[in-house]
Amino acid sequence: MKAPIYMDIMAIYFAILPILFAFSVFLAVKKKYKLHFQTQTLLLASSLIVILYFEINVRLYGGFVKYSDNSSLSFEFLLVYLIIHILIATASLGGWLYLYISSLKEYKNSGIESFKSSKHKKIGKAIFYSMSLSSYMGVLLYVLIFYK
């Protein structure tokens, strides 16, 4: 079975998201905070839209049980992999939303200076790594289902 188009879009988007995310963090390293904020806004919004688009389509046109038939790997293996992927991805996305909203509030209340003493850097880096892991685990699942 050929992968449906919405899955291709999802896989391409999440293959490049970690690169764009790294660029947004690089802007903060270079002290371009406004661009860092703007790129974070754009990436978070586009990720939420792509995930919503995917979740709607997967429910309308397929579902994991149907697609997993396509793979030569066992259903049990794919299911365990999917559950681990969902747990990491949900925690990462929740963390990303939390950091975005709390950073925006912190900036409005106390300005840029307060970020120096906050845990923003540490949490931001952890979210970058876990979002990258979630993205590539998702892309690998797509490969395992449609090309293996």
Q: Under rule CB under 6 A, which residues in 13-42 are in contact with ligand HEM?
A: 25, 28-29, 33, 36-37, 40
Instruction: Give the side-chain half-sphere CA count within 13 A for 131.
Output: 27
Query: Which letter does DSSP use for residue 70 in this model?
Result: T
Residue 124 or 138: the one with the smaller Cβ distance to ligand HEM is 124
Is residue 145 within 8 Å of 75, Cβ to Cβ?
no
CB atoms within 10 A of CB 91: 13
Residue 2 or 116: the one with the smaller Cβ distance to ligand HEM is 116
Name the region of 31 (left: φ>0; alpha: ψ -120 to 50; beta: rest).
left
Please state the length of the chain.
Answer: 148
Residue 80 or 112: the one with the smaller Cβ distance to ligand HEM is 112
Tell whether residue 127 is a contact of ligand HEM (CB under 6 A): yes
Dist CA 133 CA 89 (whole Å): 8
Dist CA 41 CA 13 (whole Å): 16
Residue 63 or 94: the one with the smaller Cβ distance to ligand HEM is 94
- Stretch of residues binding ligand HEM (CB under 6 A), selected from 8-16, 63-71, 94-102, 132-140: 94-102
Among 68, 103, 134, 135, binds ligand HEM (CB under 6 A): 103
Residues near ligand HEM (CB under 6 A) are 25, 28-29, 33, 36-37, 40, 96, 99-100, 103-104, 107, 112, 115-116, 120-121, 124-125, 127-128
